[in-house]
Amino acid sequence: MRLIIEARLVDGDTVEEGDRVLAVVERPDRSLAELGLTLAEGRSLLAKVQIELISKQVKQWLSGQTHCQSCGAALRHKDSRSTVLRTVYGKVTVKSPRLWSCACQGTAQTPQRVVHPLSKALPRRVTLELEYLQAKWAAHLPYRLATAMLKEVLPLDRGISSSGIRDRILDIGKQLDADFEGEIVQPPQSVADEQVRESSHVAAVSVDSAWLRNCDSGRDPGRHVNIVAGRATFTDGPPKLYAYVHREVTSAAARLDQFLGRNGVRSDERVTVISDDAGEFAKTVEGSQLARGRILDWFHIAMKFQAAQRSVFGSKMIDSMERESVETEITHAKWLVWHGKGSKALKRIKALDSRLLAREGYEFKTLWWNLNTVSSYLRNNARTLVNYSARHRKGLPISSSIAESAVNQVVSYRMAKKRQMRWTDEGAHCMAQVRVAVLNGEFSARRISALKIVASGYGKRIGPVSAGGRRPTARMDRATMP
């Protein structure tokens, strides 16, 4: 059994003479031992079809570029060179002629110049689909694994490399960041307080942060990269993520407003942000025009009280008869905070601490440390304590667990928070932008094309990056893998 696959070009009503045989597949007669095409045969066939199609397309397009667009005169041929185009189905080498410009286009200073039509039409020499696949899979897998996976299923061979994919992430990440910064230039309009209402579209917004190992030798080698990740849940749609490196944005509050505004929050609406007691989150909410206020995460409060209760059980200075009463006092203080009575809970903890201070050596025990930790935590975050029981009964969120999962999705699953990968601020920031776009379902080849148009409109020079090589004029930021 023999299957012959031929290529036939049809231009309008004209059929090109002489079909070209692309592949011949042979199989044993009356046997299912080798069923269908193998992976190697499929890759080879796709590569040959791509070469045939692109060669015919380029040849047909160049036939319309041999005459002057102004006067119609034929352009003189100078020479021909080879141009390599990188596509999803491998590299394709085509002939690219160079022509002398028409006499009607010359001036006294420059009577003639060389015209390179194909280089002008294809300045990047890489298809959008290949850029899209490289960036998408690099957002899910380490660079080397993404490169190996694409080479396994597509006829790319030496057409891509891990360094090229890393540069692709940097390139597209910068374009995404420039797009966000362009929206930040137009902040939401300020509205009087009496006209502000709670957003009915956004159910909850929660923000958290994570730390990554730093590999930037130009700065403090012991410093870590602080990456912020957040998630917004909506009443009528799937949740959305956003992330950034704290040092790479000019204003964290503006970044939050841009994220909320892009997802339908109007200037006369406000949302509530749930986070822990990190200082940068407080500054972000205070500077935001679309955030109504910040709520302290209940999970962190409960963990502080749980640590204090466990230290009661292990304390040798408290006998078994008194241990139950001390645990009850801590539990009552916890439920006072749950019902929005933080000041009363703080007084109760202080009274318990004063009672235990009469014991010798109490200030050196773990119980003393944990009780003081709880009281300091409540005192420093008194403005962000709310009636958690009332919010829980209304079905409103009280925990930043949605932000914890956002950190896991954006950071842990790809950027290896618990492994030995190291990042620069710029590299981690670009990776976060691409990964968030992929996870939000907002990443496609069409989006990449739109980003390039916007970047050229802003006048930003984002140098072309080859699919298989490095950009020679830009410093590369790499994530080193073990």
Query: Contact, 263 vs 180, CB < 8 A?
Result: no
Q: Tokens 């791509």: give the residue.
A: 50
Q: Return averaged pLDDT per consecutive 10 residues of the chain, 482 residues in all.
A: 83 66 83 84 90 89 85 86 91 90 72 84 89 94 92 87 92 92 76 74 88 75 83 89 91 90 86 85 86 88 91 74 85 94 93 82 79 92 92 87 88 79 90 94 90 66 43 37 35
Q: Strands 114-115 and 90-100, how do they pair?
A: antiparallel
What CA–CA distances, in Å, run from 424 to 210, 392, 410, 429?
14, 40, 16, 8
pLDDT given at position 16: 64
CB atoms within 10 A of CB 481: 14
Q: Note the Cα 135 to chain centre separation in Å.
A: 10
- Residues sharing a CB contact under 8 Å with residue 370, sequence separation 6 or more, in sequence order: 304, 307, 308, 311
d(CA 409, CA 436): 9
pLDDT given at position 463: 45
Element of type H or E holding 291? strand 291-296
Angle between the 128-140 and 162-184 helix axes, to the nearest 10 degrees? 90
Sign of CA dihedral 156, 157, 160, 162: positive
pLDDT in tens, 399-423: 888 888 889 889 988 887 666 788 8
Q: Tokens 């939050």: give the residue.
A: 256
pLDDT given at position 119: 87
Q: Note the Cα 186 to chain centre separation in Å.
A: 23
pTM for the complete prediction? 0.81
> What tokens were used for 449?
């094309």
| 27 phi/psi in degrees, rounded to 5 | -135, 150
